[in-house]
Structure 1
Amino acid sequence: MTPAPTPTPAPAALRWGVLGATSYIATHLMPAIAGTPGCELTAVASRPGRTEQAATAGEPFGAAAHPDYASLLADPAVDAVYIALPNTDHVEWTVRALEAGKHVLVEKPMAMDEKGCARIEAAAEASSRTVMEAFMYRFHPQQARAAELLASGAIGELRVVRASFAFGIETGSGNIRLDPALGGGATWDVGCYAIDVPLFFFGQAPADVSARFSRRPGLGVDTSAVATMDFGRGRSAVVDYSIDYGPRAWYELQGTHGTITVRNAWAMSGEDGVITVLTADGIREETVPAANHYQLQVAHFAEAVRTGASALRVPLADSRRTARVGEALVASAAAGGTAVACGGDESTAPR
Structure 2
Amino acid sequence: MADKKVRFGILSTAKIAEKQLVPALKEAVNAELTAVASQSGKEKEAAQRWGAPFHYDDYRTLLKDPDIDAVYIPLPNSLHQKWAIEAMKNGKHVLLEKPAALNSDDIIAISSTAKEYNVQWMEAFMYQFHPQHTYVKKLIQDGEIGKIKRFRSHFSFPMDLTSDNIRLNKELGGGALFDVGCYCVHASRDLLDEEPLKVFSNARKLTEDGVDISSTSILTFEEADAVIDCSFDEPPSNYYEVIGTKGKIEVLHAFRPDENPDQGEGIVILKDLNNQIVNEKRLGGNPYTLQVEHFADCVLQDKEPRYNGEKSYNNMKVIEALYRSQG
Rate the CA distance shift 1:268–1:25 in 2: closer, same or farther, 3 A.
farther
Number of residue-to-residue matches in the alignment? 321
1:6 is matched with none
1:117-136 superposed matches below 5 A: 117-136=107-126
Q: Is the 8 A contact 1:157 1:255 kept in 2?
A: yes
Paired with 1:212 and 1:256, the residues of 2 have a C-alpha distance of: 28
Identity %: 36
Secondary structure of 2:68's counterpart equals coil
Render the CA deviation track for 1:25-78: whole Å, top value 9, x for unaligned: 1121012112212322111112x2x23x22222223233111111111111111
Render the CA deviation track for 1:158-201: whole Å, top value 9, x for unaligned: 12111110111112222110111110011110111111111111
1:1-351 superposed matches below 5 A: 10-46=2-38, 48=39, 50-51=40-41, 53-59=42-48, 60-232=50-222, 234-269=223-258, 270-280=263-273, 282-310=276-304, 312-334=305-327
Secondary structure of 1:250's counterpart equals strand
| TM-score normalized by the length of structure 2 | 0.94
Render the CA deviation track for 1:128-173: whole Å, top value 9, x for unaligned: 1000000000011111111111111100111211111011111222
Q: Following TM superposition, by how much is the alpha carbon of 1:333 offset from its aligned partner in structure 2, in angstroms?
A: 0.7
Paired with 2:306 and 2:134, the residues of 1 have a C-alpha distance of: 11
Paired with 1:258 and 1:10, the residues of 2 have a C-alpha distance of: 44
1:349 is matched with none
Q: Is the 8 A contact 2:71 2:93 kept in 1?
A: yes
Q: Is the 8 A contact 1:107 1:134 kept in 2?
A: yes
Q: What code does the residue aligned with 1:172 have?
A: T
| TM-score normalized by the length of structure 1 | 0.88
Secondary structure of 2:10's counterpart equals strand
Paired with 2:146 and 2:288, the residues of 1 have a C-alpha distance of: 32
Deviates more, 1:271-280 or 1:96-105: 271-280
Q: Following TM superposition, by how much is the alpha carbon of 1:280 offset from its aligned partner in structure 2, in angstroms?
A: 3.6
Rate the CA distance shift 1:151–1:10 in 2: closer, same or farther, 3 A.
closer
Q: Is the 8 A contact 2:243 2:249 kept in 1?
A: yes
Structure number with bigger Rg: 1
Q: Following TM superposition, by how much is the alpha carbon of 1:289 offset from its aligned partner in structure 2, in angstroms?
A: 2.9
C-alpha root-mean-square deviation of aligned residues, in Å?
1.5
Paired with 2:294 and 2:111, the residues of 1 have a C-alpha distance of: 19
